Structure 1
Amino acid sequence: MPYFLLILGLATLVVTGDLLVRGAVGVSTRMGIPPLVIGLTVVAFGTSAPELVVSISAALDGASGLSIGNVVGSNITNILLVLGFPALFFAIDCKQTGLRRSTSFMILVSVLLIVLSVDGVINHVDGLIFLGLLAGYLLYNGFEANKMRKRGQNIEELMDEIDDAPEDPKKIAIYLIIGVIGLPLGGKLTTDSALDIAAIWGVADSAVGLTIVALGTSLPELAAGMSAALRRQSAVAIGNAVGSNIFNILSILGITALIVPLQVAPNFMVFDYWVMLFIAIGLAPVVFMHRSIGKIEGGAMSIAYVVYLVVVFQIGHQLAEGLPIG
């Protein structure tokens, strides 16, 4: 039963999160808000809604390991799987304007997470720091995007998510109602069932958050990455992954930490944080040298993701049994 409830919870998060985004975009469009602003705010935050709801629900239940694991695991998944798997079929170019800046910022934010976790807790002050950086990031990107538009550069491909936004007021209202009601329900189902599965498997809650829950909440990004690769839109594919990683740390952990402080489990400081940082740094040479992620790189990344999953569960068993990591 926990497995069925987990699948149901994740499916509810994905579907209702998507409806909430489209409903919010529909409202914003009817209010005359520019598509660029919508893309940088409503769509960006909305696509992170599943991770946010799960993290808050887990933190309120006292499962900080699941809360942080969901974010860290999603960031690892976004690079190794969301970029690696589509690259098995079509090469992903890394030549887009602003990608170097965003990749550098992703690495900086990952380092900051490690630094702020040294004391063993991500507290309210840390949450404010994350949200302050997020505000600066949004403002700067909005300014840069406006400059691109004035220079006549094409940024329409980055706004693909807006195309299916509803225009009818009744449809918008239905989307919003389903999203607002469904997201908390999906988050609760996912959190409770994930904790039950952790108990059944005899692993720490962080292991389930880093793997099953992180993969489930990253499904929208994976679907978007595959779709972008099929349409040869590399900017959407890699921008989606890098942008999601930045938002996961700054918005999800930032908002969650403001509500309830998060206790950092030992495995994050010993292993998972460093895997996340190493992968982010590993992407930098590809981006800065304007290379492509091809079949060979995609295969290596996908295999690395599977190996990571195996190691995480081994560590999860050690933590559950009270054994030292190693």
Structure 2
Amino acid sequence: MMWLMIIGGLVGLILGGEFLVRGSVALARRIGVSDLFIGAVLVGFGTSAPELVASLNAVSADSPGIAVGNVLGSNIANILLVLGTAAVIYPIATNPKALARDGIFAIAATLALAALIYFNGFASRLTGVALFLTLVGIIIYSFYSDRKQGGHSDTAELHRDEAEIMDAHVPLLLAIPMAIGGLLGIVLGAKFLIDGSVQLARMVGLSETVIGITIIAIGTSLPELVTCVMAALKKKPDVALGNVLGSNTFNVFGILGITSGIMPFNVPLDQISVSRDLGGLILSMFFLVLFAFTGRKLARWEGGVLLLGYCVYIYLLLMGPA
């Protein structure tokens, strides 16, 4: 029963995330919402919806380690697993000018997450509100910055490509039930996955944080993986990089901001390794910047290095203290 809950939850998150994003994007485009807004805001919210629902369920089930591990593990997986896979499929040519702004936001989110975990900053509702307001400020600044340039900046074009790739190209009457069904799938999938994962952690003696970083983080990162693989196959791999940077920013300021704003929680520091987990988080961002922003391309071999790094991290995670 436990494994059925975990597998069913993963399937619910994967399919739910896909249907929610594609249905929402199709709906937005059919009613005339600009591609710029869809790519900059809607896609980011949609692909991060599984992390949000999973984190809220985890904290409400008195398992905050899963909530923190989910976002921490998702941000690491987005860079090492998701981008690594996309780059191996098709090298990612980067435009430093187009990605500099989103890259700065993602770096700030990475440093904020590491500091908040280390100093147990999620115990205050004020912290959650501040994180969410930061996200709102980032969205407003990004949107109006692109609009100010007439919507013709490199970043604006990147967001338009995101909107096009994620559009399900379905009629309006089908887009609505698709989006609603996707949301329902995420809610039910998150509940089953959290309940099953808590049982698994207790049975095998692993900490809830480790379960959050592995099973749940990989599960909630699958919508980003699907999006990035599709972008690579359509030879628009720069969309993959933009999607990951945006998702990592949303995860910290949005997911943990909303979660701690609604239900403040204590971070179980005894379940988190500063050198392994926080070090892995910061190193993953460092190598992303090194590979993508210095050589103007994320080559296949560099994607392979990222994938190898993820395998090493998971090995150290599972072989280390529970």
What TM-score, normalized to structure 1?
Answer: 0.89
Q: What does residue 303 of structure 1 align with?
A: 308
Amino acid at match of 1:8: G
Quote how far apart the aligned CAs of 1:291 are: 2.9
Matched residue count: 316
Quote how far apart the aligned CAs of 1:112 are: 1.6
Instruction: Note if 1:208 corresponds to 2:224.
Output: no
The answer as to whether partners of 1:82 and 1:225 remain within 8 angstroms in 2 is yes
Instruction: Note if 1:291 corresponds to 2:296.
Output: yes
Q: What does residue 88 of structure 1 align with?
A: 88
Quote how far apart the aligned CAs of 1:97 are: 3.5
Answer 1 or 2: which has greater helix percent.
Answer: 2
Quote how far apart the aligned CAs of 1:35 are: 2.3
Change (3 A) 1:92 1:31: closer
C-alpha distance in 1 between matches for 2:195 and 2:37:
36
Q: Deviation per CA, 1:120-175, whole angstroms, max 9, x where unpaired?
A: 24021111121111111111211233245444764432322442154333x23422
C-alpha distance in 1 between matches for 2:252 and 2:296:
26
Quote how far apart the aligned CAs of 1:278 are: 1.8
Amino acid at match of 1:285: L
Partner of 1:48, secondary structure, is helix
Q: What does residue 105 of structure 2 align with?
A: 105
The answer as to whether partners of 1:94 and 1:286 remain within 8 angstroms in 2 is no
C-alpha distance in 2 between matches for 1:206 and 1:222:
22
The answer as to whether partners of 2:13 and 2:219 remain within 8 angstroms in 1 is no
The answer as to whether partners of 1:43 and 1:161 remain within 8 angstroms in 2 is no
Quote how far apart the aligned CAs of 1:48 are: 0.8
Q: What does residue 182 of structure 2 align with?
A: 179
Q: Deviation per CA, 1:183-226, whole angstroms, max 9, x where unpaired?
A: 22111001011111212221001101101111111111112222
The answer as to whether partners of 2:291 and 2:302 remain within 8 angstroms in 1 is no
Cα RMSD (Å) of the superposition?
A: 2.1
The answer as to whether partners of 1:59 and 1:67 remain within 8 angstroms in 2 is yes
Partner of 2:89, secondary structure, is coil
Change (3 A) 1:163 1:258: same
Q: What does residue 278 of structure 2 align with?
A: 273
Amino acid at match of 1:48: S
Q: What does residue 322 of structure 1 align with?
A: none
Give percent identity, aligned residues only.
34
Q: What does residue 240 of structure 2 align with?
A: 237
C-alpha distance in 1 between matches for 2:23 and 2:89:
33
Partner of 2:287, secondary structure, is helix
Amino acid at match of 1:167: P
Partner of 1:62, secondary structure, is coil
Amino acid at match of 1:192: D
Structure 2 counterparts to residues 212-231 of structure 1, below 5 A: 212-231=215-234
The answer as to whether partners of 1:74 and 1:218 remain within 8 angstroms in 2 is yes
Mean CA deviation greater in 48-57 or 21-30: 21-30
Amino acid at match of 1:272: D
C-alpha distance in 2 between matches for 1:59 and 1:131:
17
